[in-house]
Structure 1
Amino acid sequence: MTAASSASRSVGQVTSVVSAVREVAGGLLSRPLASYHLVLSLAGTLTLIGLVMILSASSVEGYSKEGSAYGLFTTQLVFAVMGVAVFAVTLWLPVRVFRRLAAVMITVTTILLVLVLIPHIGIESNGARRWFNIAGLSVQPSELVKVALCVWGAHVLAARRRENASLKELLIPLLPVAVIICVLIILEPNLSTTITIAIIVGALLWFAGLPIKVFTTFALVGGVLAVLLSFMAGYRSQRVLSFLGHIDDPQGAGYQARQAGYALANGGVFGEGLGQSRAKWNYLPNAHNDFIFAIIGEELGLLGALMVVGLFCLLAYVGFRIASRSVDPFLRLLTSTITVLIVAQAFINIGYVIGVLPVTGIQLPLVSAGGTSALTVLAMLGLMANAARHEPEAVAALSVGRRTGLARWLRPPAPVPYRPARVPAQRGRSSRGPDRRREQGQ
């Protein structure tokens, strides 16, 4: 009886703690600006974690190659500062500005994809021509086009929204433009970014209401094309065959994946300690980039790795929460697509590091080294934060009270409530008139 009563008290205590946590979490999430503050917190936390881990993972390789343990970290820090500035810009600008600039953004970034393929303009490294060298910094246009495609695709599909929209209206011009972008990226070559472009297009079409049969067909075709492209280059096919177990060469195609597994195993539950990784001593190639999650697991242990996974799960929750609460179809499509893109990249990266997916080269957003990638992800999170400020409750809260003094200049302008067109279902000539322009101007 004593043991039973003790167990009963323990269960009661756990239940009360869970109830208290739920009550506190519910109270915090019920606040009008909860989504906005969560996006800010997640963006800052992931950026800081990325900078700390890049400094740790790249210090040995940087010192051995360039004589400085801080070279790559300094570059990443510069891009992070630039990313914070871009985050602020995307947060400040009204939604109507992004919709007006959507066509310009996709056009300029597509032209950059063409220019990077031209010798003496684009920089070639390790057999790929993907970068521009601007003021000593490497800029990757295939990362910039992700933001442009998210904004432009959401703008096009939101402008054509209606329950009985035809298949042609959903696919054109989104699909042809996406195919052009994918072809240009494949020519670099860069299969991993091509996969992310496909994720963007798939998310846009899914949330725009593409029929499930058509969506499944496109997904199957895309999967077949990805498999074919993976076997077009020797190193890609070796990665896939090694993952499938057809190549058992510890020093060959499976070397990185094997070393990543060793690093995770060495970390155990609590890790070796920050900066104490052994894998980064030239045992694990690209430890600061594609396989930085292995260094996190080695230095911070299972608990640190689960913390990073939890942050991306929380980001997924917040992103879909913002999308579900948005009344503007453009913001709903944009936020959903950005959420799927960032979270999918994160879990593809984590998947191949822990060995459940073949190695693709997709980076861990904001955590892996990659200046342009960090810049674009922060831009996307800025757009997400902007959408959070346009939730109806947030709009009502931010419209109350006048800002004076320094707060007037530091805070973003108050969001404008969304006003739908009076006849949103019409697709005739009148739907392109003043009502449509007024809706797109919000």
Structure 2
Amino acid sequence: MEARPLTDYTMIRTIVLVLAGLGVVMVMSSSMASSFASSASVWSQAIRQTIMVAGGLFFFWLLLRMSPDRLRRFSHVIMGISVLLLVVVLTPLGTGREEVGSQSWLVLGPASLQPSELARVAIAIWGASILANKDYNRPSRLDNGFAPFIAVAVLCLGLIGLQGDYGMAVSFSIVVAFILLFAGISWRLIAAAGAVALVGMVFVFLSGGYRSNRFHVYFDALFGRFEDTRGIAFQSHQGFLSLADGSLFGVGLGQSRAKWFYLPEARNDFIFAVIGEELGLWGGALVIVLFGLLGFFGLRAARRARNQFQALLAAALTTGVVSQAFINIAYVLGLLPVTGIQLPMLSAGGTSAVITLGAMGMLASVARHEPDAVSSMQNYGRPAFDRVLGIGEPKSPGQMVRGRRSVRTAAGRRERFGAPVTARPAAPREPREDREFQRPVTGNRGQSRPRYDVRRDSSWRGGRRAS
């Protein structure tokens, strides 16, 4: 892989596109019954999801064209908008409390927005911006970035908790913890925060209600017994039955029986159970391998990134998406309590699809701007994927400072590429006092030679002159 500079970029974009395509297919398959029941059409949910994925791919393309360092300029604005939306969703404008138990959505005409999804990506961008190149040995100093980051993270976490979306609060906390970890903060502080989170989960377990019931179902499933398969354990039990029906090779794409109102949230939280039923063990293993590869190449891109901001951004985005995926898969398999976290790029959900694919566009942009990748594309050309989609050549930091205009000039081209090897040196002539002095151009070995000027080259015929 070291001999192939574009490996990270190629693998990340390929994995993301495969997951997005698989998500559209599986949402189409798992939502037929619920779509027909709600709108008398088996395609309504599938068409809506396809439109949202298309919008997410547009943002993927848009952010792939943008340099991560240019995105850094807007990090404060993005974070401010996210905090504002988290506050607005707690007002009467927010909805979802009666339907799913958490007031997490803002209805915007025919579409809805989940601000906590945006906040999870915003904290990654803003955190990477203010924590890059900071002294992690003194996190309490106000001018060091760590104290403001922790304060804003706690504020966002409290607002998400007030919405009642504890699953998203856990996912948000994981992103914050990984940013601090990659920025170099002490493990002791991370462990202390984890202990506080553990106390909070114990409190939820003892407080009663449907969240406490999820812990009871988890312990029942962990020991292989369900006490109430028609009540609180209905969804988890049906998920287990779907996975068991799939066996090794599955019952066939579109042939799931659980989606016919046996498995609640078949197209959302428990879509992995439908994947296991229709595609079998190999289909579920494929999804796990794809997210594992995304984690590997995302963290590899972070290690090879141009600067610490891009490294922190890539690491935070990668761990945020991959951890969310494995939490979802784990609670479908009974390894964790059900939290309501969706399977990114596979579950039905407009906000999640658009924001997650946009975040993956940022991650692919970081991989595309690795120093080796920039050098490879500038010397050997862009991949066919970039040429077809009109994605320009990435720039090095020095080239971005000089700007595009200087590159278009002859002096800018010589500065970037060196003297052309096909240039003919001017014929030696006797020096004249009235001739304009020409500054010598230094060759590859430090020797001075006259600058080539086609207007003084007697080998040209026909009166051809330089433009």
TM-score of the aligned structures, taking structure 2 as reference length: 0.79
2:391 maps to 1:411? yes
Match of residue 313, structure 1, among 275, 289, 292: 292
Q: Deviations over 1:134-184 (max 9, x none)?
A: 2301211111111111100111100x4246444443631111111111111
Where do residues 195-214 of structure 1 align in structure 2 (5 Å cutoff)?
Answer: 195-214=170-189
Q: Which has the larger radius of gyration?
A: 2
Q: AA paired with 1:46?
A: L
Mark the CA change 1:231 to 1:196 in structure 2 (over 3 Å): closer, same or farther: farther
Tell me how many residue pairs correspond in the alignment. 389
* C-alpha distance after superposition, 1:229-257 (max 9, x if no partner): 45556110001112123972111111111
1:91–1:385 contact (8 Å) kept in structure 2 = yes
Once the two structures are superposed, the pairs formed by residues 223-372 of structure 1 within 5 Å of their partners are: 223-229=198-204, 231-232=206-207, 234-245=209-220, 248-372=227-351
Match of 2:190 in 1: 215
% identity of equivalent residues: 38
In structure 2, the residue matched to 1:137 is 111
Deviations 1:285-311 (A, max 9, x none): 000000000000000000111011110
Q: Distance in 1 between matches of 2:140 and 2:313?
A: 20
Give distance in 1, aligned partners of 2:95 and 2:240: 35
Report which stretch shifted further, 301-310 or 135-144: 135-144
2:36 and 2:347 map into 1 onto residues whose CA distance is 19
Compute the displacement of 1:71 (Å).
1.5
**Compared CA separation, residues 247 and 302, structure 1 to 2 (3 A):** closer
Q: Deviations over 1:351-372 (max 9, x none)?
A: 0101111111111110011111
Q: Distance in 1 between matches of 2:65 and 2:397?
A: 15
Give the structure 2 partner of residue 105 of structure 1. 78
> How far apart are the structure 1 equivalents of 2:369 and 2:49?
31
For residues 196 and 71 of structure 2, the distance between their equivalents in structure 1, rounded to whole angstroms, comes to 32
Which amino acid in structure 1 is aligned with residue 364 of structure 2?
A
Give the Cα–Cα distance (whole angstroms) in 2 for the partners of residues 231 and 66 of structure 1: 41
Displacement of 1:40: 1.1
What is the distance in 2 between the residues matched to 1:87 and 1:407?
16
Q: Which amino acid aligns with 1:191?
A: Y
Cα displacement (A) at 1:395:
1.4
Contact 2:93–2:106 (CA under 8 A) maintained in structure 1: no
Which segments of structure 1 move beyond 6 Å, counting only runs of 4 or more?
A: none
Q: Is the 8 A contact 1:392 1:417 kept in 2?
A: no
Q: How many angstroms does 1:408 deviate by?
A: 9.8
**Alpha-carbon distance between aligned partners in 2 of 1:186 and 1:41, rounded to the nearest angstrom:** 35
Secondary structure at the aligned position of 2:103 is classed as strand
1:193 CA drift (Å): 0.7
Match of 1:149? 123
CA distance in structure 1 between the partners assigned to 2:85 and 2:262 by the alignment: 36
For residues 332 and 278 of structure 1, do their structure 2 counterparts lie closer, same or farther at Cα, with a shift above 3 Å needed? same
Paired AA for residue 130 in structure 1? S
Q: Is the 8 Å Cα contact of residues 91 and 412 (structure 1) preserved in structure 2? A: no
Aligned to 2:15: 42
Aligned to 1:3: none
Question: Is residue 136–residue 183 contact of structure 2 (8 Å, CA) maintained in 1?
Answer: no
Q: Say if 2:159 is the partner of 1:180.
A: no
Contact 2:371 2:396 in 1 (8 A): no
Structure 1 range deviating more: 90-99 or 138-147: 90-99
Q: Distance in 1 between matches of 2:323 and 2:56?
A: 21
The 3-state SS of whatever aligns with 1:138 is: strand
Structure 1 residue 385 corresponds to structure 2 residue 360: no
Structure 1: runs of 5 or more not aligned: 1-25, 420-442
Distance of aligned partners of 1:329 and 1:73 in 2 relative to their CA distance in 1, 3 Å threshold: same
More helix by share: 1
Question: Which structure has more RCO (C-alpha within 8 Å, separation ≥ 6)?
Answer: 1
2:379 aligned to which of 400, 415, 428: 400
Cα 1:215–1:100 shift into 2, 3 Å: same
The answer to whether the Cα contact below 8 Å between 2:378 and 2:393 also exists between their aligned partners in 1 is no
TM, length-normalised to structure 1: 0.83
**What residue in structure 2 maps to residue 373 of structure 1?**
352
Are positions 1:70 and 2:49 aligned together?
Answer: no
Are the counterparts in 2 of residues 272 and 300 from structure 1 also a CA contact under 8 Å? yes
Counterpart Cα distance in 1 of 2:205 and 2:55: 34
CA distance in 2, matches of 1:72, 1:336: 33
Q: In structure 2, what is the Cα distance between the partners aligned to 1:323 and 1:115?
A: 34
The question of whether the paired residues in 2 share the 8 Å contact of 1:170 and 1:205 is answered with: no
Corresponding residue of 1:22: none
Q: Report the secondary structure of 1:128's partner residue.
A: coil
Q: Find the residue that maps to 2:273 and give its secondary structure.
A: helix
